[in-house]
Amino acid sequence: MKVGNKAPNFKILNENGRSVNIKDFNGRKTVLYFYCKDSTSGCTIESKDFAKNYDKFKKKNAEVVGVCIGTLESHKKFKDDLKLPFNLLVDEDAKVSKRYGVWNEKNFLGNKYMGIERTTFIINEDGRIEKIFPKVKVVGHWKEVLNSIKH
């Protein structure tokens, strides 16, 4: 995945079971953030920060969308617990994560496994990738993303 590429299309369910397509966001910027797991510390911080500053993104005509593996139930609980004002998309089989190149081998305490590498994409109004934030460090990430959105 490179800046300037057309963002890979997808059609998956959000936390309420409604079908969502990346083209639903055409005409505005999209902050597509891939996070590792519902209700974990880093993902909670990242999601809360995007939620607390959601109005600032809306003022720049940008929509925030979270993507993670998991289930409708885990996403709904995570969204409800944090009162998130944006969609959380259920990538149960990691198809979207793989298309965006964020499904990678990880290593934790010597154990190797496949998982999402925390990454954020800014997609422009025409559906092209404008900026990529790989291997995100969550603290202050929302501000870095917001400041990168040109309007």
Among 123, 130, 131, smallest CA distance to 62 is for 123
Domain boundaries, the chain: 36-148
Residue 26's CB is within 10 A of a number of other CB atoms, namely 14
75-98: pLDDT as tens digits? 999 999 999 999 999 998 999 999
- The CATH H-level (homologous superfamily) assignment of domain 36-148 is Glutaredoxin (3.40.30.10)
Catalogue the active-site residues. 43
Indicate the Cα dihedral angle 43, 13, 97, 24, nearest 10°.
-100
- Entry pTM: 0.94
Distances in whole angstroms, Cα of residue 117 to Cα of each of 4, 75, 113: 21, 18, 11
- What's residue 151's pLDDT? 65
pLDDT digits (tens, 9 = 90+) for 99-145: 999 999 888 788 898 899 999 999 999 999 999 999 999 899 999 99
Per-residue pLDDT tens over the stretch 28-73? 999 999 999 989 889 999 999 999 999 999 999 999 999 999 899 9
**3-state secondary structure at position 46:** helix
Query: Residue 128 has what DSSP assignment?
Result: B
